[in-house]
Amino acid sequence: MEELAIFGGKPVREKAIYYGRQCIEQDDVDAVVSTLTSDFITCGPRVKDMEKQLCEVTGAKYAVAVCNGTAALHLSAMAAGFGPGDEVIVSPITFAASANCVRYCGATPVFADIDNETYNIDPECIRKLITPKTKGIVAVDFTGQAVKLDEIRQICKEHGLILIEDAAHAMGTKYKGQPVGSIADMTCFSFHPVKTVTCGEGGAITTNDEELYRHLMRLRTHGITRDPSEMAHPTDALWYNEQVELGFNYRLTDFQAALLCSQLKKLPKYTKRRKEIVKLYDEAFADMPEIQVQKEIPESDTTRHLYVLRLHLEKLSCTRRQFFDALYAENTCPQVHYLPVYWHSYYEKLGYPKGLCPNAEAYYESSMSIPIYYSLTDEDVNDVIRAVKKIVAYYRK
Ligand SMILES: *Cc1c(COP(=O)(O)O)cnc(C)c1O
């Protein structure tokens, strides 16, 4: 048996690779540099271009560019009208921001358990949690796979709920042939460097609802409007603008928008490569009983952001922690996505008990994400597979 690197053996590879990284090419650099010397570096034409391009890619009527994905979620929650006393149903297996946006508005996140095979929020669990206080759902397309949008939209329709789709992982994904971004009431994207397309920090909300769009645009800039029809004291004075509610400065710069435009043009090739990597991993792990491959629902044509390695720990003589550390030592560095949101001590202090979502907790305790990104070569993927197989062979019961 090969000695694991963690016990002094030779690591599978010399140079470490991580679970995600950006791909910035010369055309991206040129787009940013040319914007820096243009007339506008913020509030200019590139932000408009980016919003137009987002509408083209997602098929949504409207897009609002903002400074990060969390800001997109915050403004969506505000535009949805969430407030104190309201309950909003959220997936527990997500980045904390998906629930924090509900807290920002003073509303209460209610965590619905996930499906054991897709790891996405389970519509049946959502149904069980609906009360007269329920106002909306924040559904997360975890790893990039679309949630069961038909079922969830049906629940929203029956109970008059607003659906916010957290598609931070899902740029490029289609549901029943329709791009994510044009389906929920509001869809939020993140353009952080680990996501499929990036502009450093950035985000966006897409919607087909003109009223929500106008509200989001206003909230992005302090709650200030230049549209007389939205003012309490309209005038035709050229300088006049009016703050009609409390908003934020969540704007994106033009050079970031230029970077995102450049990246979005390359989305098809990013999608293609991510799908190839998923296929290589799926094939390598398909016949290994120690590993559970994530189930794909046929409705979702997925641009995968994360590749989850889920362990059947009962078939291994190691813990998740030992497996993770062993993989790390082989220089094929994983990460864990995510701690159930309500296990964070902030949420624990709010009174959410352990055991709330058993599937989510079991998922967390047996999973890690392995490298997947555009510039990962077949050789890199094979290194990761070799490392996983080496560790499984070592700990196999
Ligand atoms: C990355 C991410 C966010 C937050 O996006 P930022 O741009 O980092 O603020 C929100 N939700 C999910 C699921 C994410 O992965």
Cα dist. 92→113, 122, 123, 125 in Å?
7, 11, 13, 12
Q: State the closest ligand 1 atom to the C-alpha of 73, by its place in the atom list counted from 1.
A: 10
pLDDT for 1 equals 83
Q: State the closest ligand 1 atom to the C-alpha of 202, by its place in the atom list counted from 1.
A: 7
**Residue labelled with tokens 């963690």:** 6
Burial (CB < 10 A; 0-12, 13-18, 19+), residue 38, is middle
Rounded Cα–Cα distance for residues 223 and 331 (Å):
48
Cα dist. 359→108, 137, 246, 340, 353 in Å?
21, 19, 39, 10, 14
For a mutational test of ligand 1's pocket, the pick from 140, 192, 195, 198, i.e. the residue with the most ligand atoms closer than 8 A to its C-beta, is: 192
Over residues 235-255, the pLDDT tens digits come to 989 999 999 999 999 999 999
Q: What is the mean pLDDT of the chain?
A: 98
pLDDT for 121 equals 98
Residue 103 has pLDDT above 90, yes or no: yes
The structure tokens listed for 54 are: 């987002």
The structure tokens listed for 264 are: 């979005």
Q: What proportion of the chain, given as a percentage, has pLDDT over 70?
A: 100
Residue 12 has pLDDT above 90, yes or no: yes
User: How far is ligand 1, taken at its centre, from the CA of residue 97, in Å?
Assistant: 6
Over residues 152-205, the pLDDT tens digits come to 999 999 999 999 999 999 999 999 999 999 999 999 999 999 999 999 999 999
For a mutational test of ligand 1's pocket, the pick from 95, 138, 194, 341, i.e. the residue with the most ligand atoms closer than 8 A to its C-beta, is: 95
Q: State the closest ligand 1 atom to the C-alpha of 203, by its place in the atom list counted from 1.
A: 7
pLDDT category at 359 given cuts 50, 70, 90 is: very high
pLDDT for 326 equals 98
101 within 8 A of 372, measured Cβ to Cβ: no
Residues 365, 148, 100, 159: is their CA dihedral positive or negative? negative
* pTM given for the model: 0.98
Rounded Cα–Cα distance for residues 15 and 175 (Å):
37
Q: State the closest ligand 1 atom to the C-alpha of 98, by its place in the atom list counted from 1.
A: 11
Rounded Cα–Cα distance for residues 95 and 100 (Å):
9
